[in-house]
Amino acid sequence: MTKTLLACTALALLVCSCGGKKAEKTTVATDSTTVAVDNQLTEQEKADGWQLLFDGKTTNGWRGAHLTTFPDHGWEVSNGELICQASQGKESQNGGDIVTDSTYSAFELSVDFMITDGANSGIKYFVTEHEKQKGSAYGLEFQILDDATHPDAKLYTSVPGSRTLGSLYDMIKSQNVSFNGVGVWNTAVIKALPNKHVEHWLNGKKVLEYDRGSQAFKDLVKHSKYAAPEYSPNGEAFGEAAEGHILLQDHGNSVAFKNIKIKVLK
C-alpha cells in the first residue's frame, strides 16, 4: 500500500470516528491579557487594578443590607450567576437587597446583568445604610428595567423618563440607550470619579453624566422623590456621602448578575 493510500485511509478513519457530530466551538487563549472568562480577571485587568466582587461560586464579599450575613433565601448562585429570585414584584420583601462588605469613594464598577420579562431592579452606589431598616436601602441608582412592559418606565416625579433603563433613578433620564434585550446579557458601568463627576454607561455607550454635590445635582434631588425627609437621615444630603457600599436590588423580579468587578480610583 502506498504512503498516499495510507494517509487517505487514516483520514477516513478519523472522520468516521467523529460520528458526523458537529464540532463544538472552542476558544483558544492566545493572549491572556485580552481573553475574557466569566467571573475572572484578565492579566491586564489585574495589572490595571480591577478587583472581582463576585467569584461565580460563592457570595463572599456580600451581605444583606442592614444585615451581618447574606440572606438565607431570595438569592442563589447558579451556573456562575448571582440570581435574585422572583417574588411577585415586591420590593425588598423576599431576600432583600444585598451590599458589598466594603465601601468605596471613587471607582469604576462594571456589572453584567440579564433581566426577565417585565423585570425591575437596580444597582445602587454610595449606600450608607443610615436610614431605618425598612424597604430598599437608599442610594444613587443605576436603574435596571424592562422599559417595554414595566409600568415604572412611565412614572416620574418631575423628570419624564427618569425611571427608565440606565437612568439615575427619578433624577436624570438616560440617553443614547442601546439595550441588548430581555433574556440577553447587558453591561452596566458606573464611573464615580474622585472629583465627584459620575457617569452611567450601558453596553459601551455613555447614557448620562452629572456632578455629585453641584447645585444642579442639589436641584435634581429637590425635585425628586428623594426630597422627602426620610431620604436624608440625620440631616445628611442625599447622594453626597463620602463613601458607601455597592448594592444589588431585590425588587421581586428574577434578575441575574455576573462579571461584577470594580476598580478603585485615586
User: Count of domains in the chain?
Assistant: 1
Domain membership of residue 9 (yes or no) is: no
How are the residues of the chain apportioned to helix, strand and coil, as percentages rounded to the nearest 5?
15, 30, 55
Domain membership of residue 148 (yes or no) is: yes
CA separation for the pair 260, 130 (Å, rounded): 25
Other CB atoms within 10 Å distance of the CB of residue 17? 7
Of 68-77, 83-92, 170-179, which range is least confident? 83-92
pLDDT at 26: 37
Mean pLDDT of the chain: 89
CA separation for the pair 68, 143 (Å, rounded): 26
Residue type present at position 145? L
Q: What is the dihedral of CA 82, 85, 86, 92, to 10 degrees?
A: -90
pLDDT at 132: 85
Of 23-27, 174-178, 232-236, 256-260, which range is least confident? 23-27
Angle made by CA atoms 144, 146, 148, in degrees to the nearest 5:
145
- Inform me whether the pLDDT recorded for 28 exceeds 60: no
pLDDT in tens, 126-160: 999 999 887 899 999 999 999 999 999 999 999 99
Domain membership of residue 18 (yes or no) is: no
Domain membership of residue 26 (yes or no) is: no
- Section 112-126 average pLDDT: 98
- Section 233-260 average pLDDT: 96
Contact partners, residue 160, CB within 8 Å, separation at least 6: 173
Domain membership of residue 5 (yes or no) is: no
- Inform me whether the pLDDT recorded for 19 exceeds 80: no
pLDDT in tens, 84-98: 999 987 787 789 999
CA separation for the pair 97, 249 (Å, rounded): 5
pLDDT at 2: 43
Domain membership of residue 240 (yes or no) is: yes
- Section 90-109 average pLDDT: 93
pLDDT in tens, 216-242: 999 999 999 999 999 999 889 999 999
- Inform me whether the pLDDT recorded for 24 exceeds 90: no
- Inform me whether the pLDDT recorded for 73 exceeds 90: yes
Domain membership of residue 10 (yes or no) is: no
> Is the pTM value of this prediction over 0.85?
yes
Contact partners, residue 255, CB within 8 Å, separation at least 6: 83, 84, 113, 114, 115, 116, 119, 121, 144
CA separation for the pair 155, 151 (Å, rounded): 7
- Section 207-215 average pLDDT: 98
- Inform me whether the pLDDT recorded for 210 exceeds 70: yes
Q: In the Cβ-directed half-sphere of 130, how many Cα atoms lie within 13 Å?
A: 19
Contact partners, residue 217, CB within 8 Å, separation at least 6: 210, 211, 239
pLDDT in tens, 156-174: 999 999 999 999 999 999 9
Enclosing domain of residue 161 = 36-264
- Inform me whether the pLDDT recorded for 23 exceeds 60: no
Q: What is the CATH number of the domain that holds 166?
A: 2.60.120.560
Domain membership of residue 112 (yes or no) is: yes
pLDDT at 35: 61
- Inform me whether the pLDDT recorded for 121 exceeds 90: yes
pLDDT at 234: 87
- Section 211-218 average pLDDT: 98
